[in-house]
């Protein structure tokens, strides 16, 4: 068989294959992240031994988030060999855990706690725990989630970045709002190349000491912004600010194509540093006929 014939067959197979929605499209109930806050210091993401860490999970959906059930297990080791530290179960939305961090005597040399959970979809899927292992689950459909909760074992605290900076839509200020079809912005269905812009401030990327080859090395955080939409097409799911960027402010943007039908569209932006700090915010646009 000639190379031309093989290329034609491969192209035909690819063209007949299934198409997949991009990961940036919210077309079902999704868990997008978790934010750690310390009781009494909500800007901090790294608890000290003996403190309480509040962990909130970001759950979103194309429309209103449906009723949820959830179950979580907290361990001091990745495989929970040392037994379970705590278990949580509830129906509040969003899921929120208040984790009491053990003392130094209990933690030993541990630098993280490990959180494993299941967030169950709807009233027909209830949270469960395995009787022997304590592993959380759901009686029906659910989402498995996990978090390595970094502990502060020295003088360097890790603070959460701030996601809600100066957002713009097509160059105009873009404040948060619940009803974009009353407050704007408005766009026509099917239009393209709309520019979603924001600012990342240098203060969100903290300096810290990293161990590189066993040597304490001065480092700085990087930022990753994950972008999601309930309709239309984003050109990219991620925007980045590298650790080497020394700017006091870094402008970031991504283009978006509006859907072909009229509707209110919600965008979610999740900002993460590379040490466990997380924050998020939302914006909305009205798509008109």
Q: Give the model confidence (pLDDT) of 244-269 as tens digits.
A: 999 999 999 999 999 999 999 999 99
Residues belonging to the chain: 289
| Closest-CA residue to 279 (of 209, 201, 208, 207) | 201
What's this model's pTM, rounded to 2 decimal places? Answer: 0.90
Q: Give the model confidence (pLDDT) of 118-165 as tens digits.
A: 999 877 899 999 888 889 999 999 999 999 999 998 889 999 999 999
Q: For residues 117 and 70, is the Cβ–Cβ distance under 8 A?
A: yes
CATH, domain range 168-288 = 2.60.40.150
Statement: residue 90 has pLDDT above 50: yes
Going from N- to C-terminal start, the domains of the chain cover: 30-150, 168-288
Q: For residues 72 and 134, is the Cβ–Cβ distance under 8 A?
A: no
Statement: residue 169 has pLDDT above 70: yes
pLDDT of amino acid 239: 97
The DSSP letter of residue 25 is B
**Topology agreement, domain 30-150 and domain 168-288:** yes
Averaged confidence pLDDT in the chain: 90
Q: For residues 256 and 232, is the Cβ–Cβ distance under 8 A?
A: yes
Q: What percent of the chain shows pLDDT beyond 90?
A: 77
Statement: residue 12 has pLDDT above 50: no
Pick the CATH number of 30-150 from 2.60.40.10, 3.40.50.970, 3.40.50.2300, 2.130.10.30: 2.60.40.10
Q: For residues 223 and 240, is the Cβ–Cβ distance under 8 A?
A: yes
Per-residue confidence at 20, pLDDT binned at 50, 70, 90? low
């Amino acid at each position: 068989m000639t190379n031309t014939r093989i290329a034609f067959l491969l192209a035909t197979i690819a063209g007949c294959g299934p198409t997949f929605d991009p990961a940036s499209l919210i077309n079902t109930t999704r868990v997008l992240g978790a934010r750690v806050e310390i009781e009494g210091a909500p800007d901090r993401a790294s608890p000290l031994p003996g403190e309480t860490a509040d962990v909130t999970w970001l759950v979103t959906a194309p429309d209103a988030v449906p009723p949820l059930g959830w179950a979580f297990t907290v361990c001091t080791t990745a495989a929970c060999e040392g037994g379970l530290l705590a278990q949580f179960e509830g129906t509040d939305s969003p899921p929120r855990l208040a984790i009491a961090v053990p003392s130094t005597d209990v933690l030993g040399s541990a630098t993280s706690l490990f959180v494993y959970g299941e967030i169950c979809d709807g009233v027909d899927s209830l949270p469960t725990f395995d009787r022997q292992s304590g592993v959380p689950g759901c009686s029906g459909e659910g989402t498995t989630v996990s978090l390595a909760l970094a502990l502060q074992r020295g003088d360097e605290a890790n603070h959460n970045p701030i996601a809600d900076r100066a957002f713009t839509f097509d160059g105009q200020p873009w404040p948060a709002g619940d009803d974009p079809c009353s407050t704007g912005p408005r766009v026509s269905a099917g239009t393209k190349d709309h520019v979603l812009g924001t600012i990342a401030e240098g203060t969100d990327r903290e300096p810290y000491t990293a161990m590189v080859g066993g040597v304490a090395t001065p480092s700085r955080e990087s930022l990753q912004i994950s972008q999601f939409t309930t309709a239309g097409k984003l050109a990219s799911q991620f925007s980045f600010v590298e650790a080497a960027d020394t700017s006091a402010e870094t402008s970031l943007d991504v283009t978006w194509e509006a859907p072909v039908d009229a509707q209110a569209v919600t965008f979610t932006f999740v900002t993460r540093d590379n040490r466990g700090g997380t924050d998020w915010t939302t914006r909305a646009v009205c798509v008109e006929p």
